[in-house]
Structure 1
Amino acid sequence: MLESLADVLDRYKPRTDAEAADVARVRDLLSGDPWSRATPLHVTASAVIVHPPTRRALLRWHARQQAWLQVGGHGDPGETDPLAVALREGEEETGLDDLVPWPDSQLVHVVVVPVTPSATEPAHEHADLRFVLATGTPDAARPEKPGADLRWLSIPDAQRLAGPDNLRETLARVGELLA
């Protein structure tokens, strides 16, 4: 079942004042195309992939950010369901074709993150909607390209390796679900 961004946000309860402010910024995008990369703030969707029996999480090396991060990215033209974007990105970046929302399809974290400029894009921000996806076949994970290494880690190890503080917070929330 496809869900709109507004529906996903309506079901979500931010945990902190800072997160509530980020959710409000995402809601402000609903009057236009929240996924448009032409705006300085636009929506992305991502996920921490887990293997619940071993309580491990999968991180991906992102060369541009020089950091270990979760999988995810921009919606393709016509995509409007954040969970569908996270599922597609998860499969593309890991090769895992059995990903499912876990333990359900609820958001786990909403955070606005700065993005450094590149040769083709100015500095901007992503309003990242984060989910948890599970796989039953962790050994089938394969990087989508050379230099996009993947690592299965315990939640504490993932938190130590993770790039930004906001991802450590996402991983803490994932750890609560796995406990």
Structure 2
Amino acid sequence: MTLYDDAVHTLKEYAADGDQAALRDVYLAHLAAHPDGVYKPCGAGHLTGSALVVDPARGRVLLTLHKKLGMWLQMGGHCEPGDTTLAGAALREAVEESGIADGLTLLPGGPVRLDRHPIPAPCNWHLDVQYAALAPAGALEAISDESLDLRWFAYEEVAAVADASVVRLVEAARARL
């Protein structure tokens, strides 16, 4: 199975209603129109994979201060040629950006949310498929080259530091825990 095939399958299996169901349909239409829509060179936009690193035992999430955007975000990024699944791409990004090399696992049940946001030309959109990654007990983070900072925030602190998309992701992840 190719990454494209996995993306279509993952999105078709994504249980959603309301705006999330409509967004899922936008993602599927994008992929139907753009077979290269899982990769960054697709000028019409492309899928990305992200994962919110969660420590449910301590009621907190790990966010990265994104180097280019200067915003507190979940870990995530572009799919790469070696990726075979969206979940694998999201987990790879979480490991790379959090520095937690051992023990991160994705929350079962597939993506927790979808988020579509505009990006500067030459591309138009990031079609983010968002997962939650469970941090192992005693996880030690390490700042990557892509981050200015990396910090744990209590669930209730996220709204004060991050934008609404991250707050919605935290809410969705907590609902799934």
TM, length-normalised to structure 2: 0.86
User: What's the counterpart of residue 156 of structure 1?
Assistant: 156
Gap change, CA 1:138 and 1:16, over 3 Å in 2: farther
Partner of 1:140, secondary structure, is coil
For residues 106 and 138 of structure 1, the distance between their equivalents in structure 2, rounded to whole angstroms, comes to 25
SS in 1 for 2:57: helix
Q: CA RMSD in A?
A: 2.2
Is residue 2:173 matched to residue 1:169? no
1:36 alignment partner, one of 24, 27, 39: 39
**Partner SS state of residue 23, structure 1:** helix
Q: Distance in 2 between matches of 1:23 and 1:146?
A: 28
Q: Deviations over 1:48-87 (max 9, x none)?
A: 0011211211110013222100000001114241100011
Report the counterpart of residue 57 of structure 1 in structure 2: 61
Cα deviation for residue 124 of structure 1 reads: 1.8
Partner residue in 2 for 1:5 = 7
1:44: how far off? 0.2
Tell me the equivalent position of 1:131. 131
Q: Is the 8 A contact 2:100 2:141 kept in 1?
A: yes
2:50 aligns to what SS in structure 1?
strand
- For 2:58 and 2:17, how far apart are their aligned partners in 1? 27
1:110 is matched with 114
Q: 1:87 to 1:81 in 2, by over 3 A?
A: same
Structure 1: segments with no counterpart, 5+ residues: none
1:105 deviates by 4.1
Q: Identify which of 3, 6, 16 aligns with 1:14.
A: 16
Aligned-partner Cα distance in 2 for 1:173–1:147: 24
Shift of 1:123: 5.0
Bigger CA drift: 93-102 or 28-37? 28-37
**Structure 1 residue 84 corresponds to structure 2 residue 88:** yes
Count of equivalent residues = 171
Scaled by the length of structure 1, the TM-score of the pair is: 0.85
Matching residue's letter, 1:143: I
Aligned equivalent of 2:26: 25
1:25 Cα offset (Å): 1.6
| AA of the residue aligned to 2:148 | A
Shift of 1:158: 1.5
Match of 1:66 among 70, 81, 87: 70
Q: Runs of 4 or more off by more than 6 Å in structure 1?
A: none
